[in-house]
Structure 1
């Protein structure tokens, strides 16, 4: 079933090998670079489905990378894929394809990776746009549900037997929870692949990231006040996955950051309010560009 899903949804971009990891990515457009980092349970294609990537390509070079284990990227065993580890890998990838000082956009779990990248390489991060992120430690009952899938041996057994079946049963509820109180967009309904998300390899990545969510936030908590780049924070007022008060708390901790809490919007901010997200990115771009912008080169993948 996993192989059939991959044949029906072939990769649309290129591949590069970074630190022994084969990553799938797309690289289109021209102008100031923007790196889009996706969240859990989806892949980089989510930014295409939302329409945000197309909006940004009108003025920017847009790079989207499937995080390790998601989409068509590998997730080698034997490494603890923390947010910091993933950020280090993406930083190496940016260097490999000659991307300098991108604006880094992260959604949900990808926001933790974006913050980790900025903490590790502040001088090489032009700005941050954080969407519906998990920034502070809180009790997460859902973590208990994903931990078994992340465990060696037991996780393998579950992923190749009952986990895909249970996942298919729960997927409608998961989708409603991601978007509520906003409706699920028609394009997401038609383009999101349950079969790709429920491959054993991606279930492993999703489970592992879920189990590492709390440690990721704990590791970052002392660095928020030191971020030197412009930061925009967006959240949905009705977000049932990560409550909007976490975005307000982060805004209070990052000097000079901006905050937009959008009414009638849930966790999938970039789907329900792509124009607002694109506008926030443009404001960060305007704050980071020098008065005379150098000529940009075309990049097509």
Structure 2
């Protein structure tokens, strides 16, 4: 089947067959290998996700060796000893990267883009960086209703004990979030997205991880790390992204010297689910010119 006609569901199946779990520097990591790879790419997932969220992209990058860890506190990876803030997540990633081939490229999706930026500011020096739907405005400073509701929800849930814990993981909350972010009109794909979120969006180790991660995600901005982004940088934006609006991606492109911006039409923040092949094509074209 030509890759261009491969569904996201089929890509998930290919990734499951190809990925092998490892443990590297205390982190659960999945390696998607291929013979004679064109290059190596480390993918860093977003808030409340795990490695499976980016596995369709790994499958679409069929000519590359792809590594995807579970962030500390998510999936199969243990929590950090300290706070799950951007500094500590960045230190974790810099340490993990030091175990890899120095020619490995790094991709960060959404919150993962902030982790990548923090790691680079702390000395990580990858061959190239891809920022997919990067966070380019602090949500803690946004006054729109969705951001205010999210801040209130996480603060309230933290103070409600077991009730708040159940609320954070509740079916209704996850479904509302999933509906809000999905933009595709393909009903089968929408169903798959909701299914993936219900299976994996609450796959964190403790409420502490979720709350501290939310505080880190809402207070971060990739542009805080622009001065350290001296390597080749690719920005991948969704045309209709409400979490990382296109206007902010254009600003990031202007501020990060020498960066390249690829805008994927008719998609929002879930490019890893809705357009994994388009993401892989953009990454491949970028990497091929390095």
**2 CA distance for matches of 1:222 and 1:242?**
15
Separation of aligned partners in 1, 2:203 and 2:127: 35
In the other structure, the counterpart of 1:61 is 65
Greater CA deviation, 174-183 or 188-197?
A: 188-197
- Closer, same or farther: CA 156–95 of 1 in aligned 2, 3 Å: farther
CA distance in 2, matches of 1:36, 1:182: 27
Q: In 1, are the aligned partners of 2:48 and 2:203 still within 8 Å (CA)? A: no
Indicate which of 192, 198, 213 corresponds to 1:194. 198
Within the candidate set 180, 183, 195, 2:183 is matched to 180
Structure 1 residue 53 displacement after superposition: 0.6
The residue correspondences of 1:19-98 to structure 2 (distance < 5 A) are 22-30=26-34, 31=37, 32-48=39-55, 51-56=56-61, 58-77=62-81, 79-96=82-99, 98=100
Q: What RMSD, in angstroms, separates the aligned Cα atoms of the two structures? A: 2.8
Counterpart for residue 249 of structure 1:
251
Alignment partner, residue 3 of structure 2: none
Unaligned runs of 5+ in 1: 1-11, 289-301
State the distance in 2 between where 1:36 and 1:156 align: 34
Q: Which of 1, 16, 24 does residue 23 from structure 2 map onto?
A: 16
The match for 1:126 is 127
Contact 2:20 2:32 in 1 (8 A): no
Check whether the contact 2:108–2:114 (CA below 8 A) recurs between aligned residues: yes
Normalising by structure 1, we get a TM-score of 0.76
User: Does 1 or 2 have the higher relative contact order (CA < 8 Å, sep 6+)?
Assistant: 1
Asked if 2 retains the 8 angstrom alpha-carbon contact of 1:147 and 1:208, the reply is no
Residue 171 of structure 1 is matched in structure 2 by 174
- Aligned mates of 1:94, 1:159 — CA distance in 2: 35
* Post-superposition offset of 1:176: 1.6
Give the aligned partner of residue 112 of structure 1. Answer: 114
Whether 1:285 and 2:290 are equivalent positions in the alignment is no
* Separation of aligned partners in 1, 2:224 and 2:199: 39
Q: Secondary structure at the match of 2:47?
A: coil
Decide whether the 8 Å contact of 1:225 with 1:253 is kept in 2: no
Conserved in 1, the CA contact under 8 Å of 2:48 and 2:204?
no
Q: Which runs of 5+ in 2 are unaligned?
A: 1-18
The whole-number CA distance in structure 2 between the counterparts of 1:118 and 1:221 is 12
C-alpha contact 1:44 1:64 (8 A) present in aligned 2: yes
Alignment deviations for residues 111-152 of structure 1 (CA, whole Å, 9 cap, x no partner)? 111222233335x31111111121233413223322344x5x
Instruction: Measure, in 2, the Cα distance between the counterparts of 1:16 and 1:65.
Output: 9
Distance 1:17 1:278, change over 3 A: closer
Q: How many residues align?
A: 262
Query: Which has the larger displacement, 99-108 or 134-143?
Result: 134-143
Separation in structure 2 between the aligned mates of residue 69 and residue 200 of structure 1, nearest angstrom = 6
- 2:48 & 2:274 partners in 1: Cα distance? 18
Structure 2 length-normalised TM: 0.79
Match of 1:236 among 238, 243, 260: 238
Contact 1:112 1:135 in 2 (8 A): no
Cα drift, residue 159 of structure 1:
4.8
C-alpha contact (below 8 Å) 2:131/2:236 kept by paired residues: yes
